[in-house]
Structures are given as C-alpha cells and as structure tokens.
Amino acid sequence: MATSTPSSNASASGSVRASGSGSVGSVTVTDPRAPLWDHVNILEKAKPGAAGGKVHWKCKYCPFSTATSYTRVEAHLLQIKNKGVALCPNVSYEMLCDMRKEVQRCKEIVERERTRYVPLPTGSAPSNETTAMKMKKKRGPASALEKAWDLDNRRHLDALLARAFYSGGISFNFARNPYFREAISFACSHDLNGYVGPGYNKYRESLLVQERRHIERLLESSKSVWPEKGVTICSDGWSDPQRRPIINFLAVCDKSPMFLRADNCQGEIKTKEYIADKLRGIIEDVGRHNVVQIITDNAANCKGAGLILEAEFDNIFWTPCVVHTLNLAMKSICEPKPPKSNSSDDELFIWSQLEFMYNVKNEAQMIKNFIMNHGMRLSMFNEFSDLKLLSIAETRFASVVCMLKRFVEVKTALQHMVISDKWSIYKDDAPTALVVKEKILSDVWWGNVDFILRITTPIYEMIRIADTDTPCLHLIYEMWDSMIEKVKKEIYLWEGKELNEDCTLYSVIYDILIARWTKGNNPLHCMAHSLNPRYYTKKWLEEGVGRVPPHKDREVSQMRMQCFKKFFRSPEELAQVKEEYSRFSSCSEEFNDPDSIHDRFAVSPMTWWTNHGQSIPLLMTLAIKLISQPASSSCCERNWSTYSFIHSVKRNALTAKRAEDLVFVHSNLRHLSRKTDAYKKGETRLWDVSGDSWDSMGGVGLLEVADLSLDEPELQGVSFGVGALSIGETASTTVTNEGDGNEA
C-alpha cells in the first residue's frame, strides 16, 4: 500500500503528520500519534501556513463535517463534552471502547519509541563549565576526516556499549566473542533506521528455537563423516541448581565433541536398565552402525548399562573412562584410607608404605588453608609471590599433584615469607604459624614433596594426554605399560636400588596400578593397539625394554580375536580379516614395500592407513574407525561447566528444556567455531577460553582456583608454568571435573 505525505501534518496540536492517519483521495495513512484520523474522511488538507492547521473532515459514522484540528476529532468520536464540537450519535458503546483501546495502544507505542538516555562522556571530562567552553572554542570545528568517519558518533556508540557491559555485569572477555562482533558489524554496515532489538520473550522462545534448528542444519556436515570415522557416545550424570538429576549425551568424532541432548531424570531411579534405555535411544539417533564405543565413568549402574548394550549390539563396546581409572589409581596412591581397628595385615602393610604421602598431602592442605584463610598471612604471601596457591576442589582430577606442583613453584616465596620480620612480629596465630614455618623450612618435607611428584608425574602425564577429545584409543595400552615402567624407574632411582632388586614401595604401587588396569582394560584397547603401524617397527621396539609387537603379545592377541569375532559375524568375513591382519602384521606381500615400512614410524596411523591400506579393506575400515576415537568421557565433564555457566544460581528458574536448548546452542556453537581459522588467530582467537584472565596470558597469571576447562594449551602455561603448545596438540592438559565417577 502506497504512503502519501500530506503537505500539512496533524500533530498533537492538530496537523496531519507525514505518516499521519486519514484518507487523502484513495490513500490511507496511519500515524500512532493521531490514530482517529482513520475514522473520518479528509475533504481538504490544511493549507500551508494556516493558523491552527485546520483540516476539513467528515465523520464516517454520521453526517457531521467541519474544519478543525485533531483534538476536535477526538472529542467528536470519543464522546468528550465541552470541546466545542458535536458528539457523534452513531458511535456505539462497543465502538467507543475499541477506539479508546486503540488510542491508548498508540500512546504506549509513541512512549516506547521516545529516546531516553543519560548523556555519556566521549572524551576527558572538563573540570567546570568555563573550562569546557574554552576547550570547545580552542578546538574549533570538526575536521573533514572526523566528519567522514563520524568520530563523535563512534565514540558515543563505544560509550553506550561500555555502559551495557558495566550495567549487565558482562565479562570483558565477551568483547572477543565472534558472534557479538559480527552482530555489531552487521548493524553498522546496514541502514536499519528505527530498528528495535528483540524483547525478553522473543530471545527466550522463538529466536532460541530458530537458532537451535539453524545449528542442527550446520551440524549435518560434521555428521557426514560418522559412517567412515565412527562415533564415540559419551555420557555422564549431574544435578542442576534445582537439584534435578540430568544425564547428558555427547558424540565425539575426529577431536570434536558434539552435544546431543540432556535428559531430565527427576523422579526416576538411575538403574542400569534405565541408563541402557536412554543410551539405546541415542544410538538409534546417531545410527547403530556409526557407533564404535560407549564411554561412561566406572559407576556400577553405568558399567551395567554398558554391558547390556555391548551384548545387544554386535559392533559396539562399552569402555570405561581411562581418566577416571587413572584418577582412582592416583587417589589410592596419594590419599590412602587410614586403617581401621579391624584392618587386615595387607591393608596395614599398604598403609605403612603410603602413610608419608597421606601426611604430606594433609600438611600441604593445612599450610594452604592457613595462608589463604588469614588476611594478614595472605597479605604477606602476596608480597613475595605473584602466583597464588591453588585451591582445587576435591573432585578435580589429580588435585593433589596440581596442589603440590604449585607449592614447588612458590617454594622460594614461602621460605622468604616465613623468615621475614613480618612473619615473626604478627602474634595472633603464633602456634599454628610456628608449625607452618617448620614445615616450609624443612628439607625433609620438601624432599617428600619432590618424591611424590616424581612418582606421580608419569600418571599425571598420562591423564594429561587422555583427558582430551584427541583420538588416543590406539595409544592407551602402550601408555599404561610405559607409565608403569616410568614409575618403577623413579622409585628405584630415588631409593638408589638396581632394577632387579626388590622394593616394597614399588610392589604396593604396582599392585594398585595393575588392579586398576585390570578393571579398566578393554578388548577395544588391545584391538586399537594392534592396528597402530608404529608398534611393529624396529625403531619403536628398540626404544623400550621388553617390548614386543602386538601380534606376538599373548594378552593383546587374545583380546584382538574377541574383537574380530564381535565385529565380523560371518565366517567368510572373519576368515578374510584374519588373513588381512596376517599380511599387515608380518609386513608381507604388498606391505613389504620400503615406503610402507618407512611410513609406519614416520607418519601418523591415520595417514598410513589412508595411503597404504587399500588392499585390506575390512581391516582398513576398522582401523580408521578405531584410531579416530577418544579414550575418556572428559567432554561430558566439561559440558557440565557449560551447564553451570548457563544454568547458574541466578538463572535457576530456567526450565529443563530451555536450559537444554541453551546448552545445545552454546556447546555446538563452540564446536563449529573451533573449526574456523578465526579461532586460531585474530581478535577472536580462543574466544571461549579463560574469561577475564585472558589479559594475563602473556605471562604468569594470578589464578586462585583451577576451575578451568583445560584442554586449552595456553591455560596450561598459566596454571602450571608449562610452555604453551600449539592448538590441538596431543599433550594439551586439563584439570576437569570428575563428576559422579564413584567406583562400584
């Protein structure tokens, strides 16, 4: 419908505005400031310069006509007496109510559109009005460059955005968010005069649903590689701020975890059958032929659910989370349970060997709490150290090691602090301060700390590698063997013994590690180990003592055959894959080529199979799937950090469904963003990492709490003083939430 602009517009004082309401010929024009012009016919427009802006009009409901301003139209139609105009006799009560509602609605629209703001300073504020006038006079008119770039409005927009950040309590890190920057750029590059942003309900309802559908379409490209590379389903449980039990499900493929959904289990008993039923639905959604394994923690109901599904599906294994297994081993070593009065001789013997670790851990905790909980002592410590003592939750992986590592880093600062005059002068907590001083100055105590770190470093390093989304299933079996050998070497070196001598401490730790490995070992680990070409090379075999290729290892061979029989049910396929593995493992026939043999050690397993595996299609298909899988459910643990970020105490009124939609959007936007080049460089580099501590990434940060999603290499350098690694490097580290990883 075309829009006409009368020459004289009716405003509040009576003239028809450019977007006014009325009929001029056959053209209807609507103005929220004068909505009742729609109910009369304009016979003659107001003449330019005429006093009062009178318009000649005729009522649509009665024969009355006159030349007046808009206020008389209101009086005539709305039955307002004593306004010098006759009242319309044909306006019924219902019509009167509708017109009054229309007038009120238009007033509200006009009120909302009225700009209200407190002027913001765009430069340094003058001290008084006289100074401001002098500065303005001295500065003179704006230059051509300033006019061209509209610098005043740019500075004003900066101030408005800053006000939004400050008033909303938004993290400064949000300024690096690529989607925020894209929205600002889009708005400034398009002519959107009169645009009003979405309201409260639109953000939380229609736009949220629209964004989820959009992201689901974008994820289709990631899902297209699932048939070839396979998928790992990871699951874990959590309780939200309203204490509703929630189980989340993620699909991991090619280093990229994808959030699938989170189910509210309120009112349900999380039995193994219930969890199996939930996982069964996820498997059907993903595609049963795409799923390689299901990873959960070591809880009894999760294990039971995994075994149910493993028996039901021919091609799916349940795999316990390697990181949970290692963390339980670390706890058994560093935090042994004190013996009870009815403890057995074996338990007493284990306690006698590991008691010093238990004591060192408690003493370090005591020192940390003493300093952090006393204002004066903390002030003294801050004078001597730029680093803070880490206060790590008990549910964090390898929390004891993280805490002791930080103690070693601040050792010099602690010693300088306790021998300073301030430490002795302050007497309010003198008895405890004396004990703390004795421990910090004790070479024996620091020697025990160093010994514990030496023993646990191999375990901690394996946790670092496994606690990522990087494919490492094919490395786990060999890493366990190497880790145990490194622990043995450190213990024997510390105690000055030969490797062929007996060592009671090592025998205790060895039994703990083997017991955990036996519970966590899985045929899939051995199968993936067998398909890593590197483990058949002479160079790898010579790097370690007692190494044998996978096809000569009895345990590996037995479990490999279990996998073959599960994956290949028909006798013909089983016979074919056995023959293919024989040629692959013995480097016979086409695999006796010099390039093939050289590349086994020189290139990655995926590259080798892609270049040299075409002649053994069954084994190649299986190998590509297995060497693309992770070995832990850490992505689920990190997803709970996202959940708590979104469903916080401040937003605990969110429904379970809306919270799930927000987590789906947030997690998968990160998933998509990390595949772009902008994530690795530029203004938005690592935009979802570290929050406001980003400013300290250039050096040593002041982190007090290691509550971080640390598969981010830069954060490793801040937290533990380790040099930053490249994006996606295998050895990137995390300190992640253990969640509900209680062992049966």
The overall average pLDDT reported for the chain is 80
Smallest CA-to-CA distance from 520 within 302, 346, 308 is with 302
Q: Nearest Cα to 625, choosing from 635, 610, 603?
A: 610
> What band does 519 get if pLDDT is binned at 50, 70 and 90?
confident
Q: Closest by alpha carbon to 604, among 467, 475, 463, 482?
A: 475
The confidence score (pLDDT) of residue 735 equals 33
Confidence (pLDDT) at 30: 62
What single-letter amino acid sits at 182?
E
Alpha helix positions (H), 41-150: 70-77, 93-113, 129-139, 144-149
Return the percentage of the chain with pLDDT > 90, whole number: 39
Label residue 612 by pLDDT band (50, 70, 90): very high
Confidence band, pLDDT 50/70/90 cuts, at residue 681? confident
Residue 476 to residue 481: CA distance in whole angstroms: 9
CA distance from start to end of the chain: 72
Q: Where is pLDDT greater, at 555 or 391?
A: 555
Q: Which long-range contacts (CB under 8 A, 24 or more apart) does 314-318 make?
A: 314/566, 314/567, 314/569, 315/288, 315/289, 315/291, 315/566, 315/567, 316/283, 316/288, 316/291, 316/292, 317/292, 317/293, 317/522, 317/523, 317/524, 317/563, 317/566, 318/293, 318/294, 318/522
| pLDDT at 445 exceeding the cut of 90 | yes
- Model confidence over 499-511: pLDDT tens digits? 888 999 999 999 9
pLDDT at 408: 93
- 176-228 tens-digit pLDDT: 888 898 998 898 888 888 888 899 889 889 999 999 999 999 999 889 999 99
The pLDDT score that the predictor gives to residue 349 is: 92
**CA–CA gap between residue 461 and residue 496 (Å, rounded):** 24
What pLDDT, on a 0 to 100 scale, did the predictor assign at position 392? 60
pLDDT digits (tens, 9 = 90+) for 123-174: 444 444 444 444 444 455 556 655 566 778 888 888 999 998 888 888 888 8
Q: Between 280 and 26, name the one with better pLDDT.
A: 280
Q: What gap in Å lies between CA 693 and CA 656, rounded to an integer?
A: 31
Between 379 and 724, the more confident residue is 379
pLDDT of residue 394: 56
For residue 268, pLDDT beyond 90: no
pLDDT tens per residue, range 54-82: 888 899 899 888 888 888 888 888 888 88
The contacts of residue 582 (CB under 8 Å, 6+ apart) are: 588
Q: CA 53, CA 51: separation in Å to the nearest integer?
A: 6
CA distances from 487 to 460, 476, 490, 543 (A): 11, 16, 5, 17
DSSP-derived letter for residue 685 is: T
- Distance from C-alpha of 306 to C-alpha of 318, rounded to nearest angstrom: 5
Alpha-carbon distance of 315 to 290, in angstroms, equals: 9
How confident is the model over 701-705, as a mean pLDDT? 27
Kind of pairing, strands 65-68 and 231-239?
unpaired
> 437, 479, 439: which is closest to 460 by C-alpha?
479
pLDDT band at 579 (very low <50, low <70, confident <90, very high): very high
Q: Which of 479-483, 512-516, 674-678 has the lowest mean pLDDT?
A: 674-678
Task: Answer whether residue 3 shows pLDDT above 80.
Answer: no
Instruction: With a cut of 50, say whether residue 23 has pLDDT above it.
Output: no
pLDDT tens across 621-677, in order? 999 999 999 998 888 877 777 767 776 666 667 787 888 888 888 888 888 887 788
Lookup: tokens for 708: 């971080």
Alpha-carbon gap, residue 294 to 321, rounded angstroms: 9
Asked whether residue 457 carries a pLDDT value surpassing 70, the answer given is: yes
Across 680-698, average pLDDT: 58
Tokens, residue 21 = 């309401």
Question: What is the identity of the amino acid at 235?
Answer: S
- Each as own residue / partner, the long-range contacts of residues 145-153 (CB below 8 Å, 24 or more positions apart, any chain) are 152/122
Say what the pLDDT of residue 171 is: 81
Nearest-10 crossing angle of helices 554-567, 571-586: 140
- Higher-confidence residue of 453 and 717: namely 453
Strands 55-59 and 245-253: unpaired
Q: Please write the tens of the pLDDT for every residue from 317-355.
A: 999 999 989 988 998 999 888 888 888 888 899 999 999
Which has more pLDDT, 641 or 281? 281
Sign of the torsion formed by the C-alpha atoms of 690, 692, 693 and 695: positive
Q: Is the CB of residue 528 less than 8 Å from the CB of residue 472? A: no
Percent of the residues in the chain that have a pLDDT greater than 70, as a whole number: 81
Round to whole Å and give the CA distance between 122 and 59. 52
Write the CA distances from 444 to 126, 433, 436, 440, 450, integer angstroms: 63, 19, 14, 10, 10
**Mean of pLDDT values over 576-581:** 95
Contacts of 253 (CB under 8 A, 6+ apart): 222, 225, 226, 229, 230, 231, 232, 628
Q: Kind of pairing, strands 245-253 and 317-320? A: unpaired
pLDDT given at position 19: 35
